[in-house]
Structure 1
């Protein structure tokens, strides 16, 4: 039980910020390209409370952590926040600007992963103390969580960010046909997750990303 509580405490801050700042980034970039919807609703904020979804931000990640701890495995930790409302029709160039709005979320996760990696490097260089070990574990969790969310959201499947990026890049007719997958996207994602097929996308990319982080920061 103590080990589980420690795990939850270590992952709490990285998970909440990884999920909520991902959403805030969408709103910020949407406003930059002409859609003030999220800003008008007070959703362009670094305050996690504004973005927390009880099920997706708290319950689902916690259940995955508990299940992984009990099974003694390292499951794919993921979750979601309240989606930031974006009215693509209000963007100055909807099809083109959609790419940047969609890419903002994974981009935020990339920045956070690099920030946590820098903090991990700092914790390693600190004299060993009661603070350095928990700080290092939290930083390591931050890198992993943001890497998973970034790569998962880049999966070219609507309504994930990668799907919206694909819609932006495809010719109009193909984009319109591809966008029709959006109502079924979450179901398809769950099927990929529970059949293990999602691992074929995530695991190799995770290895490449983490190796890159290690090379950049000299771990």
Structure 2
């Protein structure tokens, strides 16, 4: 019989891709759903009911999924780049900052709510991983899903804090700056997405912002959970 490795290897690659997509599906859905719901909840808390009236303060992922940004674009990029480059986005929760009781101050808390939710999820996925190992669970799929959950939320936490509108970090910066400087920064928003994409593609965001902040946050989580780790192991 002839060598059929040329037929089996692509099948293995495809199987690996499917496994990776399956591993990340649940963490990604939780990450984007809780992130967006947190924005809506914070906005309602500080006086804007827009998201609540539109049914966006919910843990139903369907309400937050953007067919292009959440599904089509990440899958297309994953297959096109063999997993080396991924980018996606959820349907943003509508917030009318003018409805907030103190718009300039409260927009900081509304913007922080999303990345804050991702930080909490990163901690919870790590705790779950510890508990599975301590409980003697050896199923690689679940352990890898916990690592995927940690990674996804670290990426979302760090990326969304990049200080350029319309990202959460940009809104935080606008809220912190004096009025004149804040107005100048806010004018970038219509082109912000394209600027961020250019910085991502050229590696500026990854090398100078994403990786350092993810590393620092990972060290913080590790230090925070040291007592639990000592108890379990």
TM value normalised by structure 1: 0.91
Cα RMSD between the aligned structures? Answer: 1.6
Equivalent-residue separation in structure 2 for 1:101 and 1:18 (angstroms): 17
1:104-183 pair list within 5 angstroms = 104-129=113-138, 132-183=139-190
Answer 1 or 2: higher relative contact order, Cα 8 Å, separation at least 6.
Answer: 1
1:34 is the counterpart of 2:70: no
Identify the residue that residue 108 of structure 2 maps to in structure 1. Answer: 99
Larger radius of gyration: 2
Secondary structure of the corresponding residue to residue 12 of structure 1: helix
Regions of 4+ moved over 4 Å: none
Length, aligned pairs only: 213
**Matched residue, 2:21:** 8
Distance in 2 (alpha carbons) for counterparts of 1:49 and 1:23: 12
Offset at 1:126? 2.9
- The match for 2:58 is 45
Alpha-carbon distance, 1:11 to partner: 0.2
Pair 1:196-2:197 in alignment: no
Contiguous gaps of at least 5 residues in structure 2: 1-13
Distance 1:212 1:177 in 2: 33
Q: CA contact under 8 A between 1:19 and 1:79: conserved in structure 2?
A: no
- Residue 215 (1) aligns with residue 228 (2): no
**DSSP 3-state at the match of 1:85:** coil
- Written as runs of structure 1 = structure 2, the 5 A alignment for 1:16-95 is 16-67=29-80, 70=82, 73=84, 75=85, 77-95=86-104
Preserved contact between residue 15 and residue 57 of structure 1 (Cα < 8 Å): no
* TM-score normalised to structure 2 length: 0.86
> Aligned to 1:7, what secondary structure does the other structure show?
helix
Kept in 2: contact 1:158–1:179 (CA 8 A)? yes
